[in-house]
Structure 1
Amino acid sequence: MGFSVHRLVVLARYLGLFFLFAANVALAATASAPPAAVEATLTVANRTVATFRTNFSGATPEVRAARAERRIKELGDQGVTPEVELVPYSVDGTMGIAIRAGDQILFALSPGDLDPEASLSLNDTAEESAKQVREVLQAYQEQTTPRMLLRGILLTLLATAIAWGLLWLLLQIGRRVTARVALQLERRLEKTRGVGWARYTYGLILRVAQLVLLVVALFVLDLWLTFVLKQFPITAPLGDHLIEYLFVYAAHFGEAMLGALPGLVAIAIIVVISQAIAGVVRSVFDAAQSGNISLPGIHPETASATRRIVICGVWAFAFALCYPYIPGSNSDVFKGVSVLLGFLLTLGSAGVVSQLMGGLVLTYSRALRVGDYVRIGEVEGVVQELSTLSIKIVNVRNEEITIPNAALVSSAIYNYSKRATSQGTMLSTKVTIGYDAPWRQIHALLIEAAHRVPDIRDTPEPYVYQRALNDFYVEYELFCQISEAKQRVPILSKLHGAIQDCFNEYGVQIMSPHFFSQPSQAVLSPKEQWFAAPARSAEESAPAA
């Protein structure tokens, strides 16, 4: 065992030495490899003079560009324009060309500085660099000339005044266009009484006109800035680049529009076909809702919701087809925004989805319709609106109550209008009378009161149940049928009045007695009073032979 441990220790030492040796070799190879040169551009007075791509005499491209820039600026600050010429040289067998101004070498170019993607020779590249040096030195000299500065300032002020005048003119045109569109819109709305697409059409025209004026204003500002920059030798190249950028961007925009044109045409075709399919679906389900046609599994109450679901499915499928043709849909930014919107929608739509599902449950269960008289919890009234997220109920106090669909799913819904047309709506009320009142008389009085209310149906016949025999009184409940569920509260009020009248006429008091001690005599109804008016016995109720 000890021998094995010793061998493992020795092996570990050899492995450690091996890895240390390999790391030193790799480090030495990395140190001996020359660092890759980083391209550097020599820019002076907003002009690109040369581009250095290789090391020269131990100097990196960044160092070479910085030295050349310092030398050129020193000459420019002196206000002299010496002769700029090319001087060929050879270093370690490598041929190159140096740029010299007077008796000072500004910088040198070697074959390694050539652009591999361009077809220019070293001599052509050096000639172009010398030309740029001459322009830089001349710009520095002209920039210090009082006459040139005064001319540039005066022309700048003149151009600013002209640009300001043009912008003011564009502003006045915009105001006139807005006023004219508003006037035409007002006249159109008076003729159509606010119905139609006039408001949206004129609004679109106004926005297009404002967009055109904005583009013109930006173009004026671009011309003004280009003109001002070109009046001074140092900033003149910026003016040239500004116009170049404008045309380049316009060309890119045009190319992008042309490239996106086939996709836009495909999107337009998909939208037109989807619109036609949605129109057919809308017509079919509207006919099913009105009862003109019958669709399997589709009821008139559910036709509207089913139509919306099918149309949403059609447009979702159309969007899926259009997505690849949307300009920029393949870009990472577009995909990132899509993912972000999906993430936000997922987080924020939990409650909305529960409301939507609740609305679907209510719709397809056909629990209620607009105009039904219902009771949900403590809320009782007429259904005014069924929406995707909630319903609205108007009670007898003309209060509009909004109930979320999610709350409806977990609540019992009492629909009094569902069977009102065919079977009538049940109406009931309770009274409690002492045990000394004959129950047959109480039954007869309650039924008589129901017959006195004209809104209560005679068929089926009203009837009374004794719901409970409490300690001190009997609980009676009268049941009757009415035809109009929305009139439950007024009819119930009339029935209560009729019950009071009937009981008063026959001398029966509506009162629930309570005893705190044993009565001196039994509280009961004598047999001779069992059929007190208006009650009748079975023999009296039998028809005469």
Structure 2
Amino acid sequence: MQSRLLATLLFVFCVSCSMLIQAADETTSSQDYAELTVANRNVMVFRSTLMGESPASRVKRAKAVISEALDEADDPVVALDPIQDSYLVLLGTRRAFIVSPKDVDTLQYGSVEQAAQSAAEKLRQVVAETKESRSLRLMLRALVAAAIATGIYLALLWGVAFVRRKLLLRLPELMDRHTRALKVGRVQVIEANYLYPLVIRVFWLLRWLVLLLLTYEWLGFVLSRFPYTRPWGESLNNYLLELATYLFQAVVGAIPGLGVALAIFFIARGATAFTRQVLKRMAGPGTFNWLNYETLQPTQRLTSLAIWLFALAMAYPYLPGAGTDAFKGLSVLIGLMISLGASSVVGQAAAGLILTYTRTLRPGEFVRIGEYEGTVTELGMFTTSIRTGLGEVLTLPNSMITGTVTKNYSRIVKGSGYVVDTVVTIGYDTPWRQVEAMLLEAARRTPGVLEDPPAQVFQTALSDFYPEYRLVAQAIPSQPRPRAVLLSMLHANIQDVFNEYGVQIMSPHYEVDPDLEKYVPKDKWFLAPARKPDDQ
């Protein structure tokens, strides 16, 4: 039993080794090839061993036969002679080489006959070029053509240098004249001094491109004139022709996609204009609560942004190069940069939309946001600007506003205006009716405080030592007086009224009552260095 198992394992091992050796031989034979080149012209590629000769030996023998045949006759005839499944390529009466089925590249040639005909045609070209190289008349003609081409090449080089000198002389004047015409209003967009170095570099690059192209064409033409170097010249010309063909085909192939992208662009443009008109008509009263003249402009912008983003997503596959790995990698990089760096920007924009559509703030309203208060001057997508009573302009992030308690002094007032308020604390020994009357009198004396609606006094707290009185009035927003100045005048009038009636504003925390009441009599209001209004 063990011997039978051992024999089975040995058989499997031998079969595996033979398969590996056969695969290695096939790989080696597929990579073992030699190319027959005569007078710099590629004639045939041998890929198989034939009649005991390796591809390299077949190339060596074919070169020797072709050289002897060309030495014996100036114009030997190239012919094909089929033999079984192969073809003999004859040069005169000699066998130049054999084309076998294993020598044929199936991707390049469809059959052995086509490969043999191609090799024979290349060999005929070698024969013709050899005959041409032995003709003194043809070589002199090639030299004359090369000399004429060299003269034209030198003349073109001189012409490029001449045009460059003329352009450099006239360039400052041309740039100065044209840059002066590029204006937005009265502001010149581009300065010639900054643009001149860039234009010089562009001209330098174009000059070298033209010189390299002229040199390339001259070299390809000259090399093509002589039989021995003609394959080199043909390869240069073919490469340039293939490159031009590739670029032309790429441009032509991109035209349908560009047409679709342009169609999407015009459709998006028309849809944007149409939605703007529809939203403008719907912004009237009684249509939607969230759509009015205040939210019309941001709604139009958001709608246009959504349409253009959708159009970009639709047109992306039709853009030239959209399917290349470079374009895909660039798209991924841009998306990664936006996702990593725009989180705060998106948050600010979302907060701006919340403020806009909830109508928390409006330009012209007087508000208090956290510890900042002032008049709203601008409500933007990312920030909100307010002007304080001290003449400062504060720019607050919208995300901070949505996360902070906001007091609006203008929203609940009667008509136009904003609320102004202040707090005083007076002892329990002063009648509260007297305190309310004095506060209302101070409000009536303050310029800028409206009489309609009338000011009001509220007792907001009954503390251990004193009541707390809050005076609330409405101010006129159209006057240029800031809220800080208005409050200062209101506080001054409160002190004057309380002093007139002999009521002290000092809030008592009792240890003992003072011997004299703490207030300023009217005859001491203007002690030095204070001046009466009549003295100023």
Match of 1:478, SS state, is: strand
Match of 2:294, SS state, is: helix
Change (3 A) 1:477 1:137: farther
CA contact (8 A) 1:96 1:109 kept: yes
- Partner of residue 506, structure 1: 501
CA-to-partner distance for each residue in 1:440-491, whole Å, 9 max, x for gaps?
3322221111110131122333222333344544432211122328842222
- Partner of residue 276, structure 1: 270
CA contact (8 A) 1:358 1:409 kept: yes
Residue correspondence of structure 1 range 193-342 to structure 2 within 5 A: 193=186, 218-228=209-219, 237-286=231-280, 291=284, 294=287, 297-342=290-335
**Structure-2-length-normalised TM-score:** 0.70
Identity percentage of aligned residues: 34
CA contact (8 A) 2:220 2:237 kept: no
Q: Report the CA distance between 1:222 and its aligned residue.
A: 0.9
Of 473, 485, 489 in structure 2, the residue corresponding to residue 494 of structure 1 is 489
Match of 1:456, SS state, is: coil
Of 183, 192, 198 in structure 1, the residue corresponding to residue 177 of structure 2 is 183
Which AA in structure 2 matches 1:54?
Answer: S
CA contact (8 A) 2:153 2:214 kept: no
Change (3 A) 1:521 1:405: closer
- Partner of residue 358, structure 1: 351
Change (3 A) 1:458 1:87: closer
Which AA in structure 2 matches 1:480?
Answer: A
CA-to-partner distance for each residue in 1:305-363, whole Å, 9 max, x for gaps?
22122212222332343234333434454444434433443333333322222222112
CA contact (8 A) 1:393 1:400 kept: yes
Q: Report the CA distance between 1:228 and its aligned residue.
A: 4.1
Match of 1:35, SS state, is: helix
- Partner of residue 26, structure 2: 35
- Partner of residue 448, structure 2: 455
Aligned equivalents of 2:516, 2:187: Cα separation in 1: 76
Aligned equivalents of 2:485, 2:467: Cα separation in 1: 26
CA-to-partner distance for each residue in 1:467-525, whole Å, 9 max, x for gaps?
3344544432211122328842222122112112212322333334445xx42799999
Which AA in structure 2 matches 1:449?
Answer: A
CA-to-partner distance for each residue in 1:127-155, whole Å, 9 max, x for gaps?
6258559979999xxxxxxxx99x99999
CA-to-partner distance for each residue in 1:383-405, whole Å, 9 max, x for gaps?
33333222233334444433222
- Partner of residue 484, structure 1: 477
Structure 2: unaligned runs, 5 residues or longer: 134-141, 191-197, 519-536
Q: Report the CA distance between 1:428 and its aligned residue.
A: 1.0
CA contact (8 A) 2:80 2:120 kept: no
Higher relative contact order (CA 8 A, sep 6+): 1
Aligned equivalents of 1:253, 1:282: Cα separation in 2: 42
Q: Report the CA distance between 1:58 and its aligned residue.
A: 7.3
- Partner of residue 410, structure 1: 403
Q: Report the CA distance between 1:53 and its aligned residue.
A: 3.1
Of 82, 102, 106 in structure 2, the residue corresponding to residue 112 of structure 1 is 102
Which AA in structure 1 matches 2:243?
Answer: Y
- Partner of residue 376, structure 1: 369
Match of 2:352, SS state, is: helix
Q: Report the CA distance between 1:365 and its aligned residue.
A: 0.8
Residue correspondence of structure 1 range 16-165 to structure 2 within 5 A: 21-22=11-12, 24-33=14-23, 34-36=25-27, 37-38=30-31, 41=35, 48-55=42-49, 110-116=100-106, 117-118=108-109, 120=114, 122=116, 125-126=119-120, 128-129=122-123, 159=153, 162-163=156-157
Change (3 A) 1:24 1:370: farther
Aligned equivalents of 1:43, 1:403: Cα separation in 2: 80
Match of 2:304, SS state, is: helix
Match of 2:306, SS state, is: helix
- Partner of residue 379, structure 2: 386
CA contact (8 A) 2:389 2:483 kept: no
Which AA in structure 1 matches 2:495?
Answer: Q
Structure 1: unaligned runs, 5 residues or longer: 1-9, 76-80, 140-147, 200-206, 526-545
Change (3 A) 1:395 1:41: farther
The alignment covers a number of residue pairs equal to 484
CA contact (8 A) 1:96 1:111 kept: no
CA contact (8 A) 1:354 1:406 kept: yes
Aligned equivalents of 2:338, 2:13: Cα separation in 1: 53
Instruction: Answer with 271-280 or 165-174: which moved more.
Output: 165-174
